[in-house]
Amino acid sequence: MSDPVDSSQAHMEYFPLDGESLTPAHLVSFGKGILKIKLTPEAENRVNKAREVIEEIIKQKKVVYGINTGFGKFANITIPSMKLKELQDNLIRSHAAGVGSPLSPERTRMLLALRINILAKGHSGVSLETLHRMVEAFNASCLSYVPERGTVGASGDLAPLAHLALGLMGEGNMWSLKTGWAEAKYVLEMHGLKPISLGPKEGLALINGTQLITALGAEAVERAQAIARQADVIAALTLQVLKGTTKAFDSDIHAARPHPGQVDVAWRLRSVLDSDVFPSEITVKNRAHERVQDAYSLRCCPQVHGVANDTIAFVKSILTTEMNSATDNPLVFGEQNKIVSGGNFHGEYPAKALDFLSIGVHELASISERRIERLCNPSLSELPAFLVTEGGLNSGFMIAHCTAAALVSENKVLCHPSSVDSLSTSAATEDHVSMGGWAARKALRVVEHVEQVLAIELLAACQALEFHRPLKTTPPLEAVYQLVRMVVRPWDQDRVMSPDIQAAHKLLQEEKVWEAVAPYMEKYRDSLPHCPTN
């Protein structure tokens, strides 16, 4: 992700959070520091009503879990009223037991924004004052030190969310653009902010939920969507330089097996490859020798890329529901004047979805690596070995292909689902957990590897195009070539390749390849009155 942005800039847009309409794309924008938060009046009203229920319970001295009892195994121990604040403070301090590197400022912004959105639903019982202080901290980009490891994903992401709350209390460490890493109390003071002071149930409300899983998952699914549609463009360029046929992308074939992702991918391939709208000189020259069919890594792109697209859509739906759901315990229902214990904190939904995402999106790298092999292997490509002249003196893309193979192999291990595991915790009170935190962190690593493999294929395909010159490919694919050549020059002899892979990776992360072809796809769509919408 990009470098931290000063979210205190005056021109930044305020985005209303209501606990009901947040999307993964919105959350990623919060993470990048380009949006500030404001609460809707409806959300504030719900928060106040729920808080009134908590205050009435305290007033009437009812015994309710999480308000005046211990937690987990200690749920049967009643806490006297004079120690209720100490109870909540102790909860945060004891649960701040994470380890590992801290989340980046961007990912901590996402985590905090998502927790605010959940509290804004009005089922958690926090005071409006506490919620406002959280919003103020977010808008000033005062971000707690949150170690990335320590959650088992049931009873929520307790450790990371406790660290998030700890900084807001003025304890532990925080980061801001103005101060860097420093003691939380000092960071808040430097921004003119007060630490939150926890009332009954508020500590529990701040740490009970699936927000680490879901926040990291939102980034993973947004990046997966971006790389998936650019993978179609890169595959099209590879097919073109390997003189492949477009027959396998005929619309009738995919209408006969109309999975949405498959249909969309075939359409994207048709929209940038040789057609009456966008002719290719390479295709025209080789038409007399056109193959009947290509290898699977080319011919089956709609089927393989397609199911990755459908997987991403499914995961995005699960995460969108999750990020607008009350996931703590017990839940407060202000309108009904009741508080009920349940299990919405269990992370199985996002955990299973993110394991599925890893498996689905990995296949984009798996098939890409096979296409890289075809580009590099002269017996398959009819191009110079490893896409370089004076082979032997130069090694060309030989080891770039090895890098792609290594990343694909790593992904095979990372794709083992974490959510099939469960270890009993909290003296067997929490005897089934989701392991969703690892599912989310793995998904991000898998997606990044997919981006890097496709960056290598993009460079290899552009290099292969050099050997077809002076012939040109289609206008949209020429636009991709020109984009790449703005940051990476052709290989006429060996040079250090890692910076070029990084440059291509950055293009994909910033969706520049998609931006380059999108206008051409629109033109293609306009030429076909009954073309599917993408």
Positions annotated as catalytic residues are 65
What are the structure tokens assigned to 343, written together?
A: 């299990």
Say how many C-beta atoms besides its own lie within 10 A of residue 46's C-beta. Answer: 24
**How far is residue 462's CA from residue 478's CA, in Å, rounded to a whole number?**
9
Question: Is the previous residue joined to 384 through a cis bond, with omega within 30 degrees of 0?
Answer: no
Burial 141-164, CB ≥16 within 10 A → b, else e: bbbbbbbbebbbbbbbbbbbbbbb
Start-to-end Cα distance in the chain: 26
Under 8 Å between Cβ of 393 and 479:
no
Beta-carbon contacts of 120 under 8 Å, excluding residues fewer than 6 positions away, are 17, 18, 19, 39, 40, 43, 46, 47, 131
Under 8 Å between Cβ of 77 and 83:
no
The SS3 call for residue 13 is strand
Say how many C-beta atoms besides its own lie within 10 A of residue 60's C-beta. Answer: 7
3-state secondary structure 350-382: HHHHHHHHHHHHHHHHHHHHHHHHHHHCHHHHC
**How far is residue 239's CA from residue 236's CA, in Å, rounded to a whole number?**
5
The SS3 call for residue 334 is coil
Under 8 Å between Cβ of 460 and 397:
yes
Cα 501 to chain centroid distance, Å, stands at 21
Question: CA triplet 20, 164, 168: central angle to 5 degrees?
Answer: 100
